[in-house]
Amino acid sequence: MASLSNGQDERKRRLLQRYGTTVWPSFLVAAVASVVFFGNIDPETLQVQTLPEWNISRLGGYTIGFFMFWGVGLASSILCLILQKMGNRPT
């Protein structure tokens, strides 16, 4: 295996690792959550009940819901990452 060659590689690797522990897992969870949520709840009724003056199609509702789930998961993953980093500091 190649050894650590330069700082750029190192940075790229870090970036990937962060991406892998935040963006990706929250994406997977959001996908499952959307299926479960929208399998049971029709975005159209949600919209009619909460934002009647807006005009959002069902497809739009699913999309917004999915990205909301993803956003929430992402926020939590990022917090995790930060907290874990701080936990590594020797006390």
Partner 1 sequence: MSEQQQSEMYVAREKIHPREVKGPFQHLRNLAVVVLLGIYYGLPWLQWDDRQAVLFDLPSRQFHLFALTFWPQDFVYLALLLIVAALSLFFFTALAGRLWCGYACPQTVWTEAFIWMERLTEGNRQKRLRLDKAPWTRKKILRRGGKHLLWIVFALFTGFTFVGYFTPILELGQGVMQLSLGFWEWFWLLFYSVATWGNAGFLREQVCIYMCPYARFQSAMFDRNTLIISYDEERGEPRGGRARKADPKAQGLGDCIDCNLCVQACPTGIDIREGLQYECIACAACIDACNGVMDKMNYPRGLIRYSTENAIAGKPARVLRPRVVVYAVLLLAVLAGMGYSISQRVPLSIEVLADRNVVYREVDWATIENVFTVRILNKDRIAHDYALRVDGLEGIEAFVQDDRIRVGAGSTDSVVVRVQVPRDKIDGPGQPFQLRLESLQDPDVHVTNTARFNGPRD
Residues that bind partner 1 in the complex, under the rule CB under 8 A? 1-6, 9-10, 13-14, 16-17, 19-21, 24-25, 28, 32, 35-36, 39-40, 42, 57-60, 62-63, 88
CB of 75 to partner 1, least distance (A): 18
CB of 50 to partner 1, least distance (A): 18
Question: Distances from the Cα of 3 to the Cαs of 8, 15, 19, 63, 87, in angstroms?
Answer: 13, 18, 22, 43, 28
8 A C-beta contact, residue 34 and residue 65:
yes
- CB closer to partner 1 out of 3 and 91: 3
- CB closer to partner 1 out of 11 and 79: 11
Taking the C-alpha atoms of residue 71 and residue 21, their distance in angstroms, rounded to an integer, is 14
Taking the C-alpha atoms of residue 34 and residue 73, their distance in angstroms, rounded to an integer, is 12
- CB closer to partner 1 out of 4 and 50: 4
